[in-house]
Structure 1
Amino acid sequence: MENKAPRNYLEGPVEILKNASLLAACGASYGAILTMAKLKPNLLKNSIQSGLNWGMFGIAFFSVRRSFLKDQHIGNESLKLKHSVTRDTDELFSSIFAGGITGGLLSGLIWGRARVFSGVIIYSGLCGLGQFGYTSIYRYRQQQILSHIPSEADDQDRPQFIPKYTFSQWLDRTIENLPDWSPVTKVSDEDYLKLLQSQRDKITLELGEAKAALMEVEQELEQYKKSQ
């Protein structure tokens, strides 16, 4: 059977615009509330400006995210991986990188090149947390639905069972899907112990060298005092 992703998984242009419009509405509301809280003038102007900024981010974010999801889905097909197994990780991975790319570019355009790096870090983190929260709520809702399905229901009408992953399993799969150039890698307990021992030996050696240098300074100081 062909491993096809649901239509709402790989958003089309209409879905991207709908999501961006919703984000723009949230941005406009945020701008209005912030303006009223700070007792500033130009409520309508600030609200519209905030909505446009959020909407522009939404269009760029969901477009880049869709590109990442399509690439990952093609890769899953070549490896014969089921979409239901990789969906959570694919969405999280795509949201983090799409948020970082979009946030970095827009931060550079709005506030200058000096804010690009901070924009990448902040927006990738926010988008990753948002996606993780959305997925957790969605999975909880699905589990609640499954728990209320009558036992007499026809097996063909039952929704597919959604496995519940632990945080450790989710983290392992996320690390496995990171690209080769990512600084984050997974190491075994034995490798980690060797790394700690290597750092300990290095620190011990540096402390020995510092102690020897200190003793030389003390000897020179004593010789200087005797010569006076």
Structure 2
Amino acid sequence: MEILVPSLKVGATAGACGLFTGAVAGIVRSAPTVFFSILAGGQWFTLATSYYATRLASLKHFAEDEPTPGDKLKASTVAGGVAGTLGGLLRGPRNVIPGAVMFSLFGAGGQAIANWRTASAAESSATDTKSGRGLWSKWSPITPLSDKDYEKILEEKLLRVEADIALIDDRIKEIHESESQKANDELPGCEKSNPAPSSKA
């Protein structure tokens, strides 16, 4: 069931696309639309289901845990051969061998391209992780920061705040000293303004 159910889902999707493609081909060729649609849908369903099921079974056979790129390549090649054989049987016995060979090449070539793209993406991701910057940062105004960079920025901001607090404390101290100086300067003037007590009293 782990192989059959996903394969039937893929085959049903491909078959639906085949029905649509066959109908379009029938209209273009001025041929029976329903016949072309059913024929194309059946072929696409057979090819997709057999390819996907064979590939899943081959992966389970070649790899017990995580399949390697080589395992995927072998599984795709075998799956292409099986799908090509079934597709050739639908078209006639003469098309079995050419279909098996061509679909094996298609499966191997497609998987080789997929392996190359996966390896390139992994290498690019590893490079971006080491450098701390992704490819998107070339076009984005936002720069990703590491934990150390972020900590350094916070330390700089904290130093600025402490410096501002020190300046404010100095300013407050200067104001207090100025007010105290003014108060001391005003005391002698206040004593002079008060009249001395009369001797007669």
- Does 2:29 align with 1:68? no
Counterpart selection for 1:116 from 80, 96, 105: 96
- The CA deviation at 1:139 is 4.2
State the number of aligned residues: 132
CA distance in 2 between counterparts of 1:87 and 1:96 reads 14
Which residue matches 1:210? none
Which consecutive unaligned segments of at least 5 residues does structure 2 have? 133-145, 148-201
Counterpart selection for 1:24 from 5, 15, 20: 15
Residue 39 to residue 112, structure 1, CA distance change in 2 (3 Å): closer
1:37-58 CA distances to partner (integer Å, 9 max, x unpaired)? Answer: x432332431232122111221
Q: Which has the higher helix share?
A: 2
Matched AA of 2:52: F
Moved more, 15-24 or 47-56: 15-24
Moved more, 56-65 or 26-35: 26-35
Which residue matches 2:68? 87
Which residue matches 1:105? 86
Over the residues paired in the alignment, what is the CA RMSD in angstroms?
Answer: 2.9
Residue 144 to residue 121, structure 1, CA distance change in 2 (3 Å): same
Matched AA of 2:77: I
- The CA deviation at 1:104 is 1.4
CA distance in 2 between counterparts of 1:141 and 1:22 reads 28
Structure showing greater radius of gyration is 2
Residue 132 to residue 23, structure 1, CA distance change in 2 (3 Å): farther
SS of residue paired to 1:41: coil
Matched-pair identity in %: 23
CA distance in 1 between counterparts of 2:82 and 2:26 reads 29
**Pairwise mapping of residues 1-228 of structure 1 onto structure 2 (< 5 A)?**
12-36=3-27, 38-74=28-64, 83=66, 87-108=68-89, 110-143=90-123, 146=126, 149=129, 151=132, 152=146
TM-score (normalised: structure 2):
0.53
CA distance in 2 between counterparts of 1:34 and 1:134 reads 30
